[in-house]
Structure formats: structure tokens, C-alpha cells
Amino acid sequence: MKLSENKIKTSTFFAEQTYNRMKKQLAKYEADSEKQARLEKALCTTCYYLKSSIAGQAFTKYNCQHCGEEHTHPNTNVPKYCFKCSKEHNACKKCGASKGD
């Protein structure tokens, strides 16, 4: 689409939306406002609030990088570690970072 006053206005609107969305996510991150849900998912604050990604809906097998056991994950966005290891080490199942206290 060619640049026009209107096009720039619309793009600016969406750019600001992105900023506002991220600002909200950052506020949530800082307050850890969904801690319960986050811990149920065994994720650290960064993975839960800042890296939520869209994943394909397909059961996917993965091997936990800690215990080596094979597990199944409900979507294609597979974690690195299983729930058990995540719990045992208080580590995020996606990146291994601390889940906090």
C-alpha cells in the first residue's frame, strides 16, 4: 500500500497499539499478576508474560532435557523440561529460569 496520510495514520495507530499491549504485558510482568496461572503452567515470568507465542494445536512428543523422559505436549510449542523437573528445581519448563519464590 502506498503511503498516504490515511495509511500513516492507521499504521501509527497499530504501532501505538503494539506499544500499549507490551506496556500492559510489562506491568503484568512486574506485578506478576497472574502468578497462580503462571505457576500452573510451570513458566518463569519472562516466558509467561513476554514470550507467549501462538502454537499449532497438535500433540507433540518431546524429551525432557533434564531427566530424558519422553512426554507429550498439547501443542507444537514444546517445553525443554517436564513438569516434574520444573517443580523439583523451581525452574521454568521452557527456558530453565527460576520461577521465583
Binding footprint of Zn ion on the chain (CB under 5 A): 44, 47, 64, 66-67, 82, 85, 92, 94-95, 97
Question: Half-sphere exposure of residue 71, counting CA atoms within 13 Å on the CB side?
Answer: 21
Say if residues 56 and 67 touch (Cβ distance below 8 Å): no
Least CB distance to Zn ion at residue 53 (A): 12
Comparing CB distances to Zn ion, the nearer of 8 and 37 is 37
In three-state secondary structure terms, 71 is strand
Using DSSP's 3-state secondary structure scheme, residue 70 falls into strand
The nearer residue to Zn ion, 11 or 46, going by C-beta atoms, is 46
Residue number with CB closer to Zn ion (41 or 94): 94
